[in-house]
Chains A and B, each alone.
Chain A
């Protein structure tokens, strides 16, 4: 319009994608994470990296959402879609994705991943069982 200042709409550079925070839903799950990640560090590192970067990536095989009754879960009063990622042979981790931005004044993040439950699978008979030291006769 003649006589009015020419205002150019500003666009903002998109924020760099942030890592998602990974949390356990309670102390019991946190203890499970510590226990099993000590036993299978490499596998749990891989899982941690996937959950903190691309938790909603469906690879059509080992990481995907669940469906039906088991595909729905509740955390802290809110409903979530339950996801599954295979971690070791037979081992699975179930989790929720909470994309809600952090509150004012908190560290910027893209959301968080809430680990709902961990199933370690059945250990192979040849695997060393945790918590067992050397047998009698060893020093």
Chain B
């Protein structure tokens, strides 16, 4: 059985145990959850996060405050000019995009932050960053980028089959 403690950023500690360990020791884990978040690792599905509602609400509220503050700063024509390069500095891959794409990214980023703060769910922001990061990786790799801009020749739509084992 593997049990280990992961130290997350901002000083938050999180414990990770297997789901089967949790089933066998649920009382013990419930006691620990009062003090620390627990990740239940599963082989046959996504890991499960186990924490108190109080801590989770605090995290969501804090994210909401930060999102609203960032959104307000980015909307400000004077402040936004200074903050945008700072965001580029934090997202190292942003510089791999063309200027037009960087501008498009910031527009999407701001709109998604607003939507997330309205709905209280931040998964769309995570997905957006994943899409843009993957796009930047392609732009940064001449081999990949050349594949996508190369002349494809005549389009013909040819059926393909599922591979056999």
Q: How far is the CB of B106 from chain A (nearest CB, A)?
A: 11
Residue A108 at the B interface, CB < 8 A? no
Question: Interface digits, B124-165 against A, CB 8 Å rule (1 contact, 0 not)?
Answer: 001110111011001100011101100011111111101111
User: Interface residue tally of chain A, by bracket?
Assistant: 35 or more
A76 at the interface (CB under 8 A from B): yes
The reply to whether B160 and A23 form a contact with Cβ atoms under 8 Å apart is yes
Interface residue count on the B side (C-beta < 8 Å): 36
Say yes or no for A38: interface residue by CB 8 A criterion: yes
CB within 8 Å for A68 and B152 given contacts A23-B158, A58-B127, A60-B126: no
Across-interface contacts of A42 in B (CB, < 8 A): 165
> By DSSP majority rule, is chain A's interface helix, strand, loop, or mixed?
mixed
User: Chain B binding site: helix, strand, loop or mixed by DSSP?
Assistant: helix
Given A42-B165, A71-B135, also A60-B160 (CB < 8 A): no
**Contact among A25, A37, A84 with B152 in the assembled complex (CB-CB below 8 Å):** A25
- A22 and B160 CA atoms in complex are apart in Å by 6
State the Cβ distance, A129 to closest chain B Cβ, in Å: 18
Name 16 extra pairs, CB < 8 A, besides A48-B160, A115-B160: A21-B159, A22-B160, A23-B160, A24-B159, A25-B156, A26-B154, A29-B158, A64-B131, A64-B134, A66-B138, A67-B108, A68-B101, A68-B104, A69-B98, A114-B157, A116-B152
Using CB atoms and an 8 Å cutoff, list the residues of chain A in contact with chain B.
21-30, 33-34, 37-38, 41-42, 44-45, 48-49, 52, 58, 60-61, 64-71, 73, 75-76, 82, 84, 92, 94, 112, 114-117, 119
Residues of chain B whose beta carbon lies under 8 Å from any beta carbon of chain A: 97-98, 100-101, 104-105, 108, 123, 126-128, 130-132, 134-135, 138-139, 143-145, 147-148, 152-160, 162-165
